[in-house]
Amino acid sequence: MRHIISILMENEAGALSRVAGLFSARGYNIESLTVAPTEDPSLSRMTLVTTGTDQIIEQITKQLNKLIDVVKLMDMTEGPHIEREMMLVKVSAVDKERAELNRLASIFRGRIIDVSDKTYTIELTGDGDKLDAFLQALDSTVILEVVRSGVSGIARGQRALRL
Amino acid sequence: MELTGAEIFVRCLKEQGVEFLFGYPGGAVLHIYDALYVQDDVKHILVRHEQAATHAADGYARATGKPGVVLVTSGPGATNAVTGIATAYMDSIPMVVFTGQVPTHLIGNDAFQEADNIGITRPCVKHNFLVKDVDRLAITIKKAFYVATSGRPGPVVVDIPKDITAEKAEFDYPKTVTMRSYNPVVKGHTGQIRKAVDLLISARRPMIYTGGGVLLGNASESLTELTHLLEFPITNTLMGLGAFPATDRQFVGMLGMHGTYEGNMGMHHSDVLLAIGARFDDRVTGNIDKFCPAAKIIHIDIDPASISKNVKVDVPIVGCVDNVLKTMIKEIKARKLEIDKQALAEWWKQIDEWRDMDCLKYDRESDLIKPQFVVESLYEATGGDAFVTSDVGQHQMWAAQYYKFDKPNRWINSGGLGTMGFGLPAAMGVQFAYPDATVACVTGEGSIQMCIQELSTCRQYGLPIMIVNLNNRYLGMVRQWQEFFYQGRYAMSYMDSLPDFVKLAESYGHVGMQINRPGDVKDAFREALKVRDRLVFLDFITDQTENVYPMIPAGGGQNEMILV
Ligand SMILES: Cc1ncc(C[n+]2csc(CCOP(=O)(O)OP(=O)(O)O)c2C)c(N)n1
């Protein structure tokens, strides 16, 4: 099963490589990984998407907790949560394609954030499935470049990952 | 008053109570060596190879329970130390390793003798630190010792750039340190302990299986008390020998690949298994799908990640082993437990039948020296009271099988990583800690050559180590596998061009003896034990074809042993 694990860790050099190293050394999957400082500059928050059996996920969370730099973590998928990913897509846009792309972007609630005489750059936010669906809806020949941020997540309601 | 980083380093070690610093100098650490030169509190031991520094510190730690401390230079000094760091990591040995680093402004420039010590050691340390500011040096050293010695112990590397050792700062070594991201558990959950006791009381075919964690957690006494209280059979892993007296009737020997028949059969047929400070390693469990099919499993361990990693357990208890065992004992005594004595008697009858198979028997009439006989004779000659280190191979298994360890921390071997070359430097570390003790290194002619240069260190410091070389002219364990599983195609397992070990030992100023006949074995030990000012190298020319039995072949269950 797919899990989203959010981690608060010391904002130390090398902390990221400890997590990445753990996953490669123990052969765990990483689907995506994002990391940035929090409102407390001494802490970073990492969001990790991984897949595995219950037993593997249990090991992953235990092994992560064992890392000295990890302060706290939460498996978002254990409760109701919101998951978001941001994507930037550059497409070739000439002639009548321009109107069609404009329409498609607005159906998916995307925004055109850059325009040139031959291209559009579209920004889109949502869960992974929505981003996939948008890419599928685009004619693959028009896609010039895709950038995805990787997933970030937050628990619904009162549940919060904080110190 | 302000001190230089190098002076701060030395003061920290002194405050920390470090007796011995095992190391080897080089450019990046010369300021530190200069600061060491002008004091006597911390004794620096000069090894002949950085791998040996780490193994010596490791041996010291295993024998004393105190952290081993190492100092090596940048680049090759640090990379040479990696094998010893990984060895300590696999066996959870507390150790702090200081590596020199090129000056801060050169890091990342491929400077002379630069290596990414933090990156290289990351997968084989409990934690590592790069010191980037002399003001942080003392607190970082404090943290390093705290992390290395608390919770599940392990090696910690502190990488110190050369400029940091020259810069000055106020010296303040904190008495304690806390880290918000690191809070090892101490007490076990009482509810879980109660559940475990219920299960133990209900057992009809119980087994206690304990590992290195009992020794690391200083819990031998509690374990012995609990085992006597319950009257259950107990088996130890290779790493756990000595935690319970081997000469006690309740001890059914080591378990695992070369464990006893009674130990492994007892495991396989048990209905309740109490696992303590052990990690269900593949050399112990055999084929995991066939492991203890009928058993409900209780697992006590300080590391939550150890629990249900390889084998799903029914009652996990996370906590300091000693603390948990003491609570357990109290709980059992308070509950006036009623074990089914009759079932237990029947179980013991079955175990004794397995024991009667005498799985460790060997040919005592042979004209050749049997390695088992050498270990038995060592046991007799030393009254079972020696510290025994070993290398890796057949000799290691024979030492584990035939030397009966009644006391904890006497058996010192690289069980997890299986590092040939460990034995001699580890023996040095033990001998430094206990100068008057008998320290024997049971080794093979292959392994001993991996750190043979340390004979020089032993001479310099007058260490009276006894090397027991079981010389079969083969990388015996490799030869055994080739005989069993590769139809006798002995690829690269014959040890050709061996030195004359007697002359070699003598050339360093040690005593060397070669022993060729079984009748001379006991005399050799008697002679060797008289020498107290030098190392004695006993080169036993043993039966080349001897194999280690019993054996669980790869893929086998614990009830599928090859017997002699
Ligand atoms: C550093 C290292 N290299 C290789 C091995 C693989 N290995 C395991 S046992 C063994 C043979 C050891 O031979 P020896 O020291 O002569 O002991 P014996 O088995 O003959 O008692 C080898 C090569 C190892 N454990 N460690």
**Segment B197-245, tens digit of pLDDT:** 999 999 999 999 999 999 999 999 999 999 999 999 999 999 999 999 9
- Which is the closest atom of ligand 1 to the Cα of B447? 15
Taking 80 as the threshold, does the pLDDT of residue B337 lie above it? Answer: no
Segment A126-154 mean pLDDT: 94
Measure the CA–CA gap between B377 and B371, rounded to whole angstroms: 10
Q: At A21, is the secondary structure helix, strand, or coil?
A: helix
Within 10 Å of residue B529's Cβ, how many Cβ atoms? 17
Measure the CA–CA gap between B350 and B327, rounded to whole angstroms: 31
- Decide if B136 touches A, using CB distance below 8 A: no
Which helix (H) or strand (E) segment is A123 a member of? strand A119-126
Nearest to residue B493, comparing CAs of B503, B478, B480, B512?
Answer: B478
Q: Report the largest interatomic distance among the alpha carbons of chain B, rounded to a whole angstrom.
A: 74
Which mutation among B447, B448, B544 tests ligand 1's pocket best, with the greatest number of atoms within 8 A of CB?
B447
> What residue has token string 């990221």?
A16
Measure the CA–CA gap between A18 and A22, rounded to whole angstroms: 6
The pLDDT of residue A140 is: 83
The pLDDT of residue A64 is: 98
Q: What separation in angstroms does the CA of B92 have from each of B54, B217, B514?
A: 14, 11, 36
Q: Where are the alpha helices (DSSP H) in B434-552?
A: 454-460, 476-485, 501-507, 521-530
ipTM: 0.93
Residues B93-108 pLDDT 10s: 999 999 999 999 999 9
The answer, yes or no, to whether the previous bond of B67 is cis (omega within 30 of 0) is: no
Q: What separation in angstroms does the CA of B338 have from each of B332, B335, B344?
A: 10, 9, 11
Residue of A nearest to B130 (CA): A13
Q: At A94, is the secondary structure helix, strand, or coil?
A: coil
pTM of the model: 0.97
In this complex, do A68 and B304 lie within 8 Å of one another by their Cβ atoms? no
Q: Please give the distance of CA B187 from its chain centroid, rounded to a whole number.
A: 25
Q: At B120, is the secondary structure helix, strand, or coil?
A: helix
- Confidence band of B321 (pLDDT split at 50, 70, 90): very high
Taking 90 as the threshold, does the pLDDT of residue B163 lie above it? Answer: yes
- Decide if A53 touches B, using CB distance below 8 A: no
- Decide if B181 touches A, using CB distance below 8 A: yes
Nearest to residue A35, comparing CAs of A14, A53, A61?
Answer: A14
- Confidence band of B554 (pLDDT split at 50, 70, 90): confident
Nearest to residue B62, comparing CAs of B221, B240, B302?
Answer: B240
B419 lines ligand 1 (CB under 6 A): yes
Residues of chain B neighbouring A55 (CB-CB closer than 8 A): 308, 312
In this complex, do A163 and B304 lie within 8 Å of one another by their Cβ atoms? no
CA A83 to chain B, closest CA, distance in angstroms equals 26
Looking at residue B508, its amino acid is: Y
Q: To the nearest whole number, what is the mean pLDDT of chain A?
A: 95
Q: CA triplet B509, B510, B513: central angle to 5 degrees?
A: 135
Nearest CA, atom 2, ligand 1: B420
Residues B403-431 pLDDT 10s: 999 999 999 999 999 999 999 999 999 99
B418 lines ligand 1 (CB under 6 A): yes
Looking at residue A117, its amino acid is: D
**CB distance B397 to B254 below 8 Å:** no
Residues A87-132 pLDDT 10s: 999 999 999 899 999 999 999 999 999 999 999 999 999 999 999 9
In this complex, do A68 and B312 lie within 8 Å of one another by their Cβ atoms? no
Measure the CA–CA gap between B431 and B435, rounded to whole angstroms: 5
Measure the CA–CA gap between B165 and B514, rounded to whole angstroms: 49
